[in-house]
Amino acid sequence: MTALKLSNVCKSFGKTEVLRNIDLEVDEGEFVVFVGPSGCGKSTLLRVIAGLEDATEGSVEIGGEMVNQVPPAKRGIAMVFQSYALYPHLTVEGNMALGLKQEGQPRAVIEERVAKASHMLSLEDYLKRRPSELSGGQRQRVAIGRAIVREPKLFLFDEPLSNLDAALRMKTRIEIASLHKALDASMIYVTHDQTEAMTLADKIVVLRDGAVEQIGAPMELYNNPANRFVAGFLGAPSMNFLPAETLGGAAGHTIGIRPENLRIAEDGQISGTVAHVERLGGDTHLLVRTPAGDEVTVRIFGQSQIQRDAEVTLAYDPAEAYVFDADGARV
């Protein structure tokens, strides 16, 4: 069954068009990740789904029922706000428990769920604090906790892990994934983190300027981007785009090669000078400048000893390269 169905959803703030004709179906139990550049309308879309904003046009269905007129409280959702929106007068515990109390859950259930969530989010030590006494990451975790204790059928997460450190982020990500499994709830998740998007999603929705660019399973999008935008947006560092001519392709076309698909090799198709080396520890990124002036990023596994200003030749497997036409569409 469809947990959520958006048909032709549009939203404008005055003259600013923020969402354009969004169509989307989310199956029950599905985990959908929204990605897209900053300001493309992800949060707005979540707010429309939650019922906090009216769609200017189009319909929103939750659980098969048209909910355009249904208030947020009755939509059976929980949401993590990008700006947290914690209740400033309540402690961490109170923030998490308020929704449950409102539902009239028995105390034991409330306590148990709050305890579980705060354990999961490593918030046990802070239960009695108020939001103003918490660090940024702790606040964010409270916001997550407040949403998950409610165990609704549809979760809306707006960049819930952006202020957490890597370890905690991984831990929480895994917790969310298992929660997803345990509750069999549908989740809609906005993130800028590639790892989160790739690992959590059943389906990724790529948005751009308020419109859907492509929808698909993570690896499908990664390997079969519909257009240059999607190709460039997924993957970090992002795909290199070179004029096809320089590599013997058609004029006007662009060839896209992912940084990890470039190797330093004697007989490479591309040659250039190393303009910059970024050593990340586990990876090394080289920025290679071709004589034509293009810049190409190369990702090398592990710690490369290569130095700046070295002359290199780069090879790639044409099978792993993508070709886009002048409009950016995949050829």
Partner 1 sequence: MSDRLRPRWHILVFLAPAVLVYTAVMIFPLFNTLRLSLFTEVEQERVFVGLQNFRTLFGDAIWSEQFWNALGNNFWFFFIHMVVQNPIGVILAAILSHPRLRFAHLYRSAIFIPTILSFVIVGFAWKLILSPIWGIAPSLLDAVGLKSLFAPWLGKEEYALTTLALISVWQFVGIPMMLIYAALLSIPEEILEAGECDGITGMSAFWKIKLPLILPSIGIISILTFVGNFNAFDLIYAAQGALAGPDFSTDILGTFLYRTFFGFQLQLGDPHMGSAIATAMFVIILIGVCIYLFGIQTRLRRYQF
Partner 2 sequence: MNKARRNPLNTAAAHLILLTYTVIALFPVFVILINSFKTRKAIFREPLALPSAETFSTIGYETVFKQGDFFLYFQNSMIVTVCSLFFILLFGAMAAFALAEYRFRGNTLMGLYLALGIMIPIRIGTVAILEMMVATGLVNTLLALILVYTAQGLPLAVFILSEFMKQVSDDLKNAGRIDGLSEYTIFFRLVLPLVRPAMATVAVFNMIPIWNDLWFPLILAPAEATKTLTLGSQVFIGQFVTDWNAVLSALSMAILPVLILYVIFSRQLIRGITSGAVK
Ligand X SMILES: Nc1ncnc2c1ncn2[C@@H]1O[C@H](COP(=O)(O)OP(=O)(O)OP(=O)(O)O)[C@@H](O)[C@H]1O
State the residues that interact with a second copy by CB under 8 A. 13, 35-39, 41-44, 82-83, 133-138, 141, 158-159, 162-170, 192, 194-195, 198-199, 218-219, 222-223, 232-238, 258-261, 278-283, 299, 301-303
Question: Which residue pairs, CB below 8 angstroms and at least 24 apart, start in 118-126?
Answer: 118/92, 118/93, 118/145, 120/145, 120/148, 120/172, 120/175, 121/145, 121/172, 121/175, 122/168, 122/171, 123/92, 126/92
Yes or no: say if 97 and 149 are a contact pair by the CB < 8 Å rule: yes
What is the footprint of partner 1 within residues 85-104 (CB under 8 A)?
85-90, 98-99, 102-103
What is the C-alpha to C-alpha distance for residues 114 and 148, in angstroms, rounded to an integer?
A: 9
Find the binder of ligand X among 42, 146, 203, 228 (CB under 6 A): 42
Q: Is 51 in the site for partner 2 (CB under 8 A)?
A: yes
What is the C-alpha to C-alpha distance for residues 310 and 148, in angstroms, rounded to an integer?
A: 52
CB of 53 vs partner 1, minimal distance in Å: 6
Task: Determine the interface stretch with ligand X among 40-48, 264-272, 274-282, 322-330 (rule: CB under 6 A).
Answer: 40-48
Cis peptide before 237 (omega within 30 of 0): yes
Find the binder of Mg ion among 43, 138, 186, 227 (CB under 5 A): 43
Binding site partner of 280, from a second copy, Mg ion, partner 1, none, Cβ cut-off 5-8 A by kind: a second copy
Partner residues linked to 182 by β-bridges: none
Residue among 275, 262, 254 nearest 235 (CA): 262
Binding residues for Mg ion, per CB under 5 A?
43, 82, 135-136
Binding site for partner 2 (CB under 8 A): 50-54, 67-73, 77-79, 81-89, 98-99, 102-103, 130-134, 136, 139, 146, 150
